[in-house]
Structure 1
Amino acid sequence: MTNISRRLIGVLIVLISPYALFGQVLSLEEAVKTTLSNYPSLSAAQSALEAVRENAQVIKDNRLPNVRLHDQINVGTANGLSGSYFSMGLIVPTSGGRRSENSMDLASGNIALATADWEVFNFGRFQAEDRLARADIIVGESAVENEKFGIRQTVINTYLDLLWLRQTLKIEERNLARVDTVRRIIINLVHNGIRPGLDSSLATVEYSRAKLNYFQMQQELQRAFIQLATLTGRPVKGLEIDTTFQQQALLMQPFDIKLNADHPLLRYRSNLVNRQNTEVELIRKSALPRVSVLTSAWARGTSLDIDNNFGPIGSGFGYSRTNFLVGVAATVNLTDFHRIKNRTQLQQWRVKQARSLLETQQIQLQNTLTTSDSVMATVRLALMELPTALNSAERAYQQRLSLYNNGIENILGLTDALQLLTTVEKQSVNIQRSAVDVRLQRAYATSNFDDFFALFRR
């Protein structure tokens, strides 16, 4: 490779990928931890959980006795008339004697009122409400864990994309260097009349194609860096991933792990089933009678005397009569028993839906685990075959290059050897990626990431 070519590649790396020179190294586990500490969707889920917790206290507050104090001073007419009516909240009640004529004389009055009512017993509805509130909190907590689990998967996938893109970029860089070397050799041979001019044109085309592939890979790498920066909340120019990768660990048999009910996805679905079942009980309790304690005391004054004569207005502003009342009331709405039948049936369908989603999630996770275990042996065989394939492709390229220099091989054969070597190198990255994806699938299915994270620890 000439000095000019080396400088060209160096300039491309500096201009298109400044992360490598100025980046802050971020490991996979640190990326996950950083994202979980500040990602907006997780904050939203946590806020929703706090709202559910606060709602449990609101439910308790609603059970406190209703205690009302009221006092009013009035001035108006007092013309009474026999007859009954529904006030409907619109007709102002008037307390006064009956007269043969309508009088517009004014009377004053004063009334103070204190009432209290307290629902003290309802055959277990309060307890059912508390159980539903606790079930909502448990569902909210598992929803937060579920959100964390999903964010972790997103960060891991983005981080792995960066890792494989970096490796693929190195392959494109090596391919660009090899193509440039071949191009210079061919141009020299063409200038000396040893090779036809067509070889020079083909070599130039291959060199341009290699540069285009390199530029495209740089663009994909930039997009992946931007996505990881968005997830972790770090500036793009200050971000660089740790490329530590224990490739040999992929050849080892991983620990035998099983699907368990404590998986965040299963725990969320299971808690949702319990919550829906709890609401069935509350619906049934809501139609039962309610027993309340009622108390009331009031004092009243008026400017009308005992004979219903109008007195001085000021005489009605004091209190001249007092009363109190204490009682126990039992209330039941008979039509509620019909309503809860339909509401219970509706809720039972929601329970069935939640159970079906739980079973579906269990099947999906079990299939993921079974699939990853079944292909792991095949992937391990492919990993063991990689060194042979890479060495063979490298030797084939060197032999074709030597034969071309000696005039025995043509440009097409040399180009085929170049492309084969690059293809095998990319296939090597893809096989490693498949092996890591299998480990990630096992971690996803079991929510056990210790074995997976060990692949990226120093």
Structure 2
Amino acid sequence: MQNFKTPVLVLLCLCLALKGFGQQYLQPIKLVELLNRVNSSAPTLLADSAAIGIKQSQAAETRNNWLPNLKLNYQADIGTNNNTAGPYFGFGIVPSNSRGVRTESNTNAVLTNLGIAALDWEIYNFGAYNAQNKVAESDVSVEQSQFQQSKYRLQAYTIGNYLQLLRLQDYLNIQARNIERNQQIRRSIQSLAKSGIRPGVDTSIAEAELSKARLTYLELNNQLKQTQLQLAALSGLSYQAMVPDTLIETRLILQENIPDILVADTANHPIINYYQSVVQNSRERESLVKKQYNPKILLEAAAWGRGASIDGNDRYNSLSNGWGFDRSNYLVGVGISYNLFDMRRKQLKLRTQKSATDYALRRLDEQKNLLTLSVNQADVELNTAKQRLTEIPNQLKAANAGYRQKLSLYKSGLTDIIELNAALNILYRAETDYAQARFAYISALFQKAVTANNLSSVLNLLN
């Protein structure tokens, strides 16, 4: 029984150890997956999406502007019916009193009631309704283009930070090797100092270099965590999950057909589409200005009933006789309305709107020129980065050989700590230059893809 328990306990401990290792290991998040999470969870995009819903609701409201007004009114009033002759402007505050002029003043109370169903409908305005709808639809289009532009810029920002994670991870690995080399040098110096071959001051110099390397590692690790937090805020994931796929650089560097697939697609570029939608919106507003001051054809209709405690013989009856309708009437008419001074208003407002359209066109041309410049700059940067990446291994190979030689000479007592540290710094700089060259190439590659609106071609290479 004892012989049976021992293998079981060993197997159980092994399983627990593997489980703990699996919990600590974090699967790298792929760039495509991160972009999808950002597109669905970024607060900026969620806000822009809500803004689209507002514009769509406003467009639906505008489409119903043609509906008529049908108002139902009822009132019961008690007061006098004591008119006199003479004209006046009502100003909206003088109550109506329907009765001819009396020969003498009479302030007896009268009860009246009135019910009205009134319809007013602007049945035709020579295209103003249609122009309003087109402006509302154009507003929705502008907001949707704004959303796509925000999505485009956020993708570029996400890719930039993801590549920064790769760069910082490379720097951390380089710094870890640098720390290991400094520790190796310190151990060698301690042994040589104890033997009296090297002075004790070399130990202090080695300790200082080691401490400096550790501080640099801490600073790089802090920058990595800050970048992880920024990506986590956009994607809704924990910052610990922001582990980059380190194979991206190698896979893209080995691709030889990249220049062939990075064809610029500026015709459907999100930035250009946005400014084109702004131009179209301004033109639709010009059309609205032209049509909103046109004549208006109106349909008016009303039906009403009235009752009063005073009868046709001008007798003041009991107030209770004022309830109910004694007379009913209806009225239907078609009219046309036009303000002659609207011609001047239209000219002034149209001039202002044309200026806004001209400004939008100039901004569109500016963005097209900037986009062309950005594409050309990305081409130059990509070619330069490729050449730099081809040359940099020679520097790294020479620096590595120089460091090994100086370390061997130092251990043999043929050189001093200053020259050894200089060789170590040259190697460290060569490694960081190589990492920077890899980062610069990948960054230039994605910059070209984003600028050329052809990001999907590069992302497909990573699948």
Instruction: Give me the TM-score of the superposition, normalised by structure 1.
Output: 0.92
User: Is the Cα–Cα contact under 8 Å of residues 131 and 278 in structure 1 kept in the other structure?
Assistant: yes
User: Is the Cα–Cα contact under 8 Å of residues 270 and 358 in structure 1 kept in the other structure?
Assistant: yes
What residue is the counterpart of 2:9 in the other structure?
none
User: Is the Cα–Cα contact under 8 Å of residues 29 and 453 in structure 1 kept in the other structure?
Assistant: yes
Matched, 1:257 2:301: no
Looking at structure 2, the residues matched to 106 and 454 of structure 1 have their Cα atoms a distance apart, in angstroms, of 89
User: Is the Cα–Cα contact under 8 Å of residues 296 and 336 in structure 2 kept in the other structure?
Assistant: yes
Please list the CA deviations of residues 70-96 of structure 1 after superposition, one character each: whole Å capped at 9, or x if unmatched: 111222221111112122122222224
Looking at structure 1, the residues matched to 318 and 171 of structure 2 have their Cα atoms a distance apart, in angstroms, of 102
User: Is the Cα–Cα contact under 8 Å of residues 294 and 338 in structure 2 kept in the other structure?
Assistant: yes
What residue is the counterpart of 1:328 in the other structure?
334
Partner SS state of residue 90, structure 1: coil
Matched, 1:48 2:59: no
Give the deviation of 1:314 after TM superposition: 1.8
Matched, 1:64 2:70: no
Please list the CA deviations of residues 7-60 of structure 1 after superposition, one character each: whole Å capped at 9, or x if unmatched: xxxxxxxxxxx9993434311111111011111111111111111111111112
What residue is the counterpart of 1:133 in the other structure?
136
What residue is the counterpart of 2:432 in the other structure?
426
User: Is the Cα–Cα contact under 8 Å of residues 121 and 291 in structure 1 kept in the other structure?
Assistant: yes
Please list the CA deviations of residues 216-260 of structure 1 after superposition, one character each: whole Å capped at 9, or x if unmatched: 111111111111111111122344232222426336242251242
Looking at structure 2, the residues matched to 331 and 271 of structure 1 have their Cα atoms a distance apart, in angstroms, of 34
Partner SS state of residue 295, structure 1: strand
What residue is the counterpart of 1:13 in the other structure?
none
Partner amino acid, structure 1, of 2:395: A
Looking at structure 2, the residues matched to 450 and 36 of structure 1 have their Cα atoms a distance apart, in angstroms, of 15
Looking at structure 2, the residues matched to 200 and 299 of structure 1 have their Cα atoms a distance apart, in angstroms, of 111
Looking at structure 1, the residues matched to 384 and 98 of structure 2 have their Cα atoms a distance apart, in angstroms, of 96
Partner amino acid, structure 2, of 1:351: T
Matched, 1:213 2:210: no
What residue is the counterpart of 2:309 in the other structure?
303
Query: Pick from 371, 378, 381: which aligns with 1:375?
Result: 381
What residue is the counterpart of 2:287 in the other structure?
281
Query: Pick from 374, 383, 387: which aligns with 2:393?
Result: 387
Query: Pick from 106, 125, 128: which aligns with 1:103?
Result: 106
What residue is the counterpart of 1:191 in the other structure?
194
Please list the CA deviations of residues 149-208 of structure 1 after superposition, one character each: whole Å capped at 9, or x if unmatched: 111111111111111100100000000000110011011111111012221221111111
Partner amino acid, structure 1, of 2:326: S
Query: Pick from 18, 30, 34: which aligns with 2:33?
Result: 30
What residue is the counterpart of 1:438 in the other structure?
444
Aligned residues: 440
Looking at structure 2, the residues matched to 439 and 186 of structure 1 have their Cα atoms a distance apart, in angstroms, of 45
Partner SS state of residue 328, structure 2: strand
Query: Pick from 250, 254, 269: which aligns with 1:247?
Result: 250
Looking at structure 1, the residues matched to 147 and 252 of structure 2 have their Cα atoms a distance apart, in angstroms, of 33
Matched, 1:78 2:81: yes
User: Is the Cα–Cα contact under 8 Å of residues 264 and 453 in structure 2 kept in the other structure?
Assistant: no
Looking at structure 2, the residues matched to 136 and 317 of structure 1 have their Cα atoms a distance apart, in angstroms, of 53
| 5+ residue gaps, structure 2 | 1-20
Identical aligned pairs, as a percentage? 30
Query: Pick from 281, 303, 312: which aligns with 2:318?
Result: 312
Q: Mean alpha-carbon deviation: is it higher for 139-148 or for 232-241?
A: 232-241
